[in-house]
Amino acid sequence: LLCCRLLPEGWQPISTGRRRRGVPTPLKMRTLRELTGLLAALVVSVAFAEVQGPRDGRRLPHHSDHEFVPKLRTLAEQHPGHILNHIIIKVKESDARTHHETANLIASRAGAGRVRRVFRHGGKHEPKHEAAGLHRWYKAEVHETAFASRKAHATIDSLERVLNHSEAVGMVEHIEAAFAVRAIGSTATAGNNHNSYNGNGDVKGGVRRRAASSSTPNDPYYTNGDQAHYDAVGIDQAWGITAGDSGVTVQVIDSGIDEDHPDLQINKWVNTGETDCSDGVDNDNNGYVDDCYGYNHADDSTSLQGDGSHGTHCAGTIAADSD
């Protein structure tokens, strides 16, 4: 097809016999040489593109191009806790086996153990997961004994085994070592940034007092102007526009909240699709069991407590009771 598209319209192959009346004159040899050179250049270009891989730069490195592995080894020596006990894999589509079967086969070549999806089955939302390719992401756990003896190096060992195995690497679209995720810096307790408060409504430290109104929270740290971050975000002016709307739901992505805090009870979001918060059933078929007030994705739990108090601080700024 490529040749036909490059040839002049109405051209036919050169014949050793007599030309028929009405048949166009054959191409000259110089034109044929030019055409041959053009085709050769195109073949070289296509081959070069195949070697270079996809233009988006996500080509899986070949076993001779693993510069990142020594870097991982260095990281494992300097900060062993930064690499976890599993590798993360995105498997390629296959007509021969299911995604889970492919992930298990890769894990066996890696010398790893249990395999499970990174993104759980989405229930009624699973078609969206599949459209985004989330159903092809898996984590393969390094064997406990290997990780106990070699720590982060055991995870890198599994990664290298896949990269150096011709069959396994052919089934992988993406692979990486799993890294620990931690909050940067300290998480100070919400409300403890006051200068000094003696319990009698007096604040030392030269901060301004706010004038009380019917909508002003009665939190002494707020009314005494002791929380400067509220001035920074212009919260008084925002409340002058609206004091909130029960029809608005805000998702807080933070360190978790104190679920028992008295000021976070009335405005806490409730998932009405979960008819029983303790029956161990995904009543609304959204992929999460008993997620009555949201979900803790970091700990894979329905407990929203999390780690640290910063989430309580942010949730309080958004939706705390003002009494």
Is 0.85 surpassed by the pTM of this model? no
Q: pLDDT at residue 136 above 80?
A: yes
Q: pLDDT at residue 211 above 80?
A: no
pLDDT score, position 104: 97
**CA nearest to 137, candidates 120, 158, 112, 161:** 120
Q: pLDDT at residue 202 above 90?
A: no
Fill in the amino acid letter for 28: K
Return the percentage of the chain with pLDDT > 70, whole number: 69
Q: pLDDT at residue 45 above 90?
A: no
pLDDT tens for 257-282 read 999 999 899 898 999 999 999 999 99
Q: Lowest mean pLDDT: which of 182-196, 206-220, 233-247?
A: 182-196
- Using left for φ > 0, alpha for ψ between -120 and 50, and beta otherwise, residue 96 falls in alpha
Q: How confident is the model at residue 87 (pLDDT cuts 50, 70, 90)?
A: very high
User: Average pLDDT of 70-83?
Assistant: 94
3-state secondary structure of 3: helix
Q: How confident is the model at residue 214 (pLDDT cuts 50, 70, 90)?
A: low
Q: Could you tell me whether strands 172-179 and 137-142 are parallel, antiparallel, or unpaired per DSSP bridges?
A: unpaired
* More confidently predicted of 43 and 74: 74
